[in-house]
């Protein structure tokens, strides 16, 4: 069975601080995909990144970076120089190849960036 754990329920930082959101997953499948979504106060779910299990290369996109480590089953998300607009709930999700694209979401981490 697949499972995603986001142990941090809430994080509060001051603008310009760096912040890392943790994500730990469980799966028996050797082929799987990891995702991060952002849910701002308006409520929509915004896709941020997808990673497959065969690609452990870290990725950077502007102020966002992702650290995928299969050895620890983690897919952590770092925001550098955080901004107030980054305030949102962030969800990590997992999809096993055998499950046909269905996403299993973590509980989400509420990030608040204060001015």
Who contacts 30 (Cβ-Cβ below 8 Å, separation ≥6)? 53
Q: Which of 47, 59, 60, 81 binds other proteins (CB under 8 A)?
A: 47
**Beta carbons of 34 and 51 less than 8 angstroms apart:** yes
Segment contacting other proteins by CB under 8 A, of 13-21, 63-71, 79-87, 101-109? 101-109
Interaction of residue 59 with other proteins, rule CB under 8 A: no
Distances (CA, A) of 15 to 27, 30, 92: 35, 39, 23
Q: How far is CA 92 from the centre of its chain?
A: 4
Segment contacting other proteins by CB under 8 A, of 16-24, 55-63, 65-73, 89-97? 89-97
Residues binding other proteins (CB under 8 A): 31-33, 35, 37, 43-47, 50, 52, 91, 95, 97, 100-108
């Amino acid at each position: 069975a697949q499972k995603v754990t986001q142990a941090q329920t809430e994080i509060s930082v001051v603008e310009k601080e760096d912040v890392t959101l943790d994500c730990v997953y469980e799966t028996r499948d050797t082929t799987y995909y990891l995702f991060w979504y952002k849910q701002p106060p308006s409520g929509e779910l915004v896709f941020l990144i997808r990673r497959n299990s065969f690609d452990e290369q870290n990725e950077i996109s502007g102020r966002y970076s992702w650290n995928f480590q299969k050895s620890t089953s983690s897919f952590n998300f770092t925001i550098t120089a955080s901004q107030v607009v980054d305030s949102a709930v962030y969800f990590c999700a997992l999809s096993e190849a055998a499950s046909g694209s269905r996403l299993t979401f973590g509980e989400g981490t509420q990030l608040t960036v204060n001015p």
